[in-house]
Amino acid sequence: MNCVNFSICFFVRRSKKRQCYPWEIFTLRELQHATNNFHNDNKLGEGGFGSVYWGRTTQGTEIAVKRLKAITLKAEIEFAVEVEILGRVRHKNLLGLRGYYAGGDERLIVYDNMPNHSLIAHLHGHLADDVLLDWHRRMNIIIGTAEGIAHLHHESNPHIIHRDIKASNILLDSDFNAKVADFGFAKLIPEGGYLAPEYAMWGKVSESCDVFSFGILVFEIISARKPIEKLWATPHVKGGRLHNIVDPRLRGRFDPAQLKNVVRVAMRCTDRNPEGRPTMAEVVEMLKCGGGEVVVVKDVEGEEDDDGDDDGTISEVGNSRGHGRSWTSSRMR
């Protein structure tokens, strides 16, 4: 498999690559001015890597600036990998790189600003009660995320494995289009990600690990429930009670055909056997099939139809290999 394997030697090659990518190499003064000297009022978020600040360039462009917390060898490698990968990829569903600064004790990466913040903020965070993601937006986010990951897996050269697909790494632009972010870090174990069993247990990494994580993310998007170890969704899927999986805040307003299709896709993605999972290209194709109008579905526990085929039950959630399906999440803390 053609996968990215970068190291700190990126900085030695950096000057030769400036003409290859549409980067801007900022000065520290420019980014200090844009962020009001990294003022706390401009801080958008903070994590183990450091902090992200909102800023505005002298041309009036809104940007987001990631400022690494400490300059260690690990931080240097992560910085180099992210800038290298971000410079290689351009896609409508991948977060765009505007430039960077590397000098002294500062490592700064500049991105397009995402005014609607992260997906996790809308599902579980401070925006969950302010801006409800309706069914149409959720489906667009799911499909957009799938298209972004598919681009990494199938269109990038070399192919790129994200390794850390989760709600906090899906950002939303002004139109709530999904932008996959933070796919440049070479983490041996993604922090807080939704790990495939073969990754969590044996450290095996492949595109199918991203597929598994995406399946977990799909369930999280449609249910607004945080991923947990317990397989709470499986009984509802097997019993045909798919409406019980949907976020109750939607008040039954969803497309039943789309729901059935997207759950089918998510179940296949979370097959415990990597060989039973589809590729992300196949996922995109499956997601774009089916669906009609959004209707109001009454919440009737255990209601089933007699025709067997249209009651929402998903009897074939995999391929001909016949592997078992599940919704699991190993969360690294």
pLDDT of residue 212 exceeding 60, the answer is: yes
Q: Which residue has the higher pLDDT, 305 or 117?
A: 117
164 is catalytic: yes
pTM attached to this predicted model: 0.79
Question: Is CATH 1.10.510.10 what the domain over 119-296 is classified as, yes or no?
Answer: yes
CATH class as words, domain 10-112: alpha beta
pLDDT in tens, 94-134: 998 899 999 998 999 999 999 999 999 999 988 988 889 99
Topology agreement, domain 10-112 and domain 119-296: no
Q: What is the H or E stretch that residue 237 is in?
A: helix 233-238
Per-residue pLDDT at 263: 95
Domain ranges of the chain: 10-112, 119-296
Per-residue pLDDT at 6: 37
Q: Which residue has the higher pLDDT, 197 or 326?
A: 197
pLDDT in tens, 134-172: 999 999 999 999 999 999 999 987 788 888 899 999 999
Taking all residues of the chain, what is their mean pLDDT, rounded to a whole number?
A: 79
Per-residue pLDDT at 17: 45
Lowest mean pLDDT among 12-26, 138-152, 169-183: 12-26
The three state secondary structure string of 57-71 is CCCCCEEEEEEECCC
pLDDT of residue 215 exceeding 70, the answer is: yes
pLDDT of residue 13 exceeding 60, the answer is: no
Query: Binding site annotation covers 298?
Result: no
Q: Give the integer Cα–Cα distance in Å for 92 and 83.
A: 18
pLDDT of residue 65 exceeding 70, the answer is: yes
Tell whether the torsion through CA atoms of 274, 277, 280 and 282 is positive or negative.
Answer: positive
Nearest to 310, CA basis, from 327, 323, 292, 284: 292
pLDDT in tens, 236-284: 998 999 999 999 999 999 999 999 999 999 999 999 999 999 999 999 9
Per-residue pLDDT at 164: 87
From the list 164, 247, 255, 271, the catalytic residue is 164
